[in-house]
Chains A and B, each alone.
Chain A
Amino acid sequence: MTTTPPITIEAFAVLAEQRGLRIEDPTMLERLYAGYSSLQGLLARLPAEPDPATDPALIFLGQGVELSR
Chain B
Amino acid sequence: MTALHFQSLADAARLLRLGAVKPSDLVEECLHQIGNHNDELNAYITVCAPEAREAAAIADEEIENGHWRGLLHGIPVALKDIYDTAGIRTTCHSKLFADRIPDADCDSWERLSGAGAILLGKTSTHEFATGGPSFDLPWPPARNPWNPDHIPAGSSSGSGAAVASGMAYMAMGSDTGGSIRGPAGVNGLSGLKPTYGRLSRRGIFPLSWTQDHAGPLARTTEDCAMVMQVLSGHDPLDPTSVNAAAPDYLATLNRPIKGMRIGWCRDWYEADADDSVNQATAAMAETLQGLGAEIVPITLPPLADFHACGRIIILSEAFSIHRRWIAEQPEMYGEFFRLRCRLGAFVGADQYLNALRWRRELTAATEAGMADVDMLLTANQYGPAETFEASQQDYHFFGKSSLTMPANVTGQPALTVRAGFADNGLPVAAQLIGHSFADADVLRVGHQFELARPDLRTWPEL
Q: Which residues of A contact B270 (CB under 8 A)?
A: none
Q: Does the CB pair B196–A35 fall under 8 Å?
A: no
Q: Which of B209, B242, B315 contacts A65 (CB 8 A)?
A: B242
Q: Does the CB pair A67–B242 fall under 8 Å?
A: yes
Q: Which of A1, A41, A45, A69 contacts B196 (CB 8 A)?
A: A69
B301-315 near A? 1/0 per residue, CB < 8 Å: 000110111011001
Distance in angstroms from B247 CB to nearest chain A CB is 11
Describe B's contact surface by its main secondary structure. helix
Which has the most chain A C-beta neighbours within 10 Å: B312, B326, B346, B356? B346
Instruction: Say yes or no for A24: interface residue by CB 8 A criterion.
Output: yes
A57 CA / B356 CA spacing, docked (Å)? 7
Known: A19-B346, A45-B308. A1 touches B399 (CB 8 A): yes
Instruction: Say yes or no for B283: interface residue by CB 8 A criterion.
Output: no
Q: Does the CB pair A61–B360 fall under 8 Å?
A: no
A59 CA / B304 CA spacing, docked (Å)? 20
Known: A21-B327, A59-B363, A69-B210. A46 touches B345 (CB 8 A): no
Q: Which of A21, A46, A65 contacts B197 (CB 8 A)?
A: A65
Q: Does the CB pair B394–A50 fall under 8 Å?
A: no
Q: Does the CB pair A28–B338 fall under 8 Å?
A: yes
Known: A60-B360, A63-B435. A69 touches B308 (CB 8 A): no
Q: Does the CB pair A24–B331 fall under 8 Å?
A: yes
Distance in angstroms from B375 CB to nearest chain A CB is 12
Chain B: residues with Cβ within 8 Å of the partner, total of: 53
Q: Does the CB pair B360–A59 fall under 8 Å?
A: yes
Enumerate B231-249 residues with CB–CB distance to A below 8 Å.
Answer: 239-240, 242, 244
**What residue of chain A has the Cβ atom nearest to residue B409's Cβ?**
A59
Distance in angstroms from A53 CB to nearest chain B CB is 9
Q: Which of B244, B339, B346 contacts A15 (CB 8 A)?
A: B346
Instruction: Say yes or no for A26: interface residue by CB 8 A criterion.
Output: no
Enumerate B419-440 residues with CB–CB distance to A below 8 Å.
Answer: 435-438
Can you name 6 A-B pairs with beta carbons within 8 Å?
Answer: A21-B326, A28-B335, A28-B339, A55-B360, A59-B411, A67-B197
Q: State the A residues within 8 Å of B (CB).
A: 1-2, 15-16, 19-22, 24, 28, 31-32, 34-36, 38-39, 41-43, 45-47, 50-51, 54-63, 65, 67-69
Q: State the B residues within 8 Å of A (CB).
A: 195-197, 209-210, 239-240, 242, 244, 304-305, 307-309, 311-312, 315, 323, 326-327, 330-331, 335, 338-340, 342-343, 345-347, 351, 353-361, 363-364, 367, 394-395, 398-399, 411, 435-438
